Amino acid sequence: MTTTERPLVLPGDPISPDLIPSSTSKPLRLGPGLRHVPPSDIVPVVAGQLITNHQKNSMWVEYNNNRYIPTPGDLIIAQILRSGPDLYFTSISPYTPPATLPHLSFESATKKTRPQLAPGALVYARVVLANKHMDPEIECVSQSTGKSDGLGELKGGMVFDVSLQFARRLLMAKSKEEGKVEVLELLGGEGLAFEIAVGRNGKVWVGGEDVKAIVVVGRALRETDEGGLGVEAQRKLVKRLAKGMK
């Protein structure tokens, strides 16, 4: 079991040490809704459920919010707005300032070989810097390996908007407790071929050679999200959509 209790917390509430993961092999990761107050206090900044993932040594507050707040480590889908001398300015949410993406934050990028991204291009990136005093910064390469690790420009395909909560569930689909979203596996089982990139900022990119399949995947995601569908309802939805393609 990866997650345990889900106590309700309010902004400023003290968090019991018993609820804080204590792995010695991984650094503690704080997600949305929590703030570290030196030297050792962890304080919620929003009201919601405190979620603890001992396997990943992480914790966050789950709350209903339509505004994405950038958090270091988040995987997001960003759109290029314009290019400066050394970096791109990108849009990650209607409610956040433009995020910067250095030209050399790509695998094997140099001043001569860096990607030439036009306004409107999409990238799958990771948030590396986010605080209230500076604009967010994102990257398309792992700082530890120098590899893209699946990040970079997203070519073709379509982008679909989903709720922030649903995006988080998609990103945590391997967790037994959080993995109640099976719609993507069910679509693959029906023979649909597609690629997908999920952004914590409520964006899902779907790519593939068959435009009809892309639309079906996007529709399935939206209906599952908006309808709050359980596993059985997801199966019925996929069967109906797959039948409509034939």
- Fold adopted by 8-62: OB fold (Dihydrolipoamide Acetyltransferase, E2P) (2.40.50)
Give the separation between CA 52 and CA 25, rounded to whole angstroms. 16
For 58, half-sphere exposure in the C-beta direction (CA atoms, 13 angstrom radius) is 15
Would you say the CATH fold of 159-245 matches that of 8-62?
Answer: no
57-92: pLDDT as tens digits = 888 887 767 788 898 889 999 999 999 999 999 999
Three-state SS at 122: strand
pTM for this entry: 0.78
Q: For residue 163, what are the CA distances in angstroms to 148, 213, 223?
A: 26, 22, 11
Give the separation between CA 113 and CA 106, rounded to whole angstroms. 10
Q: What is the pLDDT of residue 131?
A: 83
What are residue 47's phi and psi, to 5 degrees? -95, 135
CATH class of 75-155: mainly beta
CATH of domain 159-245: 3.30.1370.10
Give the separation between CA 103 and CA 85, rounded to whole angstroms. 9
Three-state SS at 44: strand
Return the number of other C-beta atoms located less than 10 Å from residue 163's C-beta. Answer: 16
pLDDT tens for the chain, 246 residues long, are 344 457 888 998 888 888 888 777 788 888 878 888 888 889 998 888 888 888 778 888 877 677 888 988 899 999 999 999 999 999 999 888 999 999 999 998 888 888 899 999 999 999 999 887 888 999 999 888 889 989 999 999 999 999 988 998 888 754 444 446 889 999 999 889 999 999 999 999 999 999 999 999 999 999 999 888 888 999 999 999 988 876
User: Contact at 8 Å (CB) between 184 and 173?
Assistant: yes
Query: What are the residue ranges spanned by the domains of the chain?
Result: 8-62, 75-155, 159-245
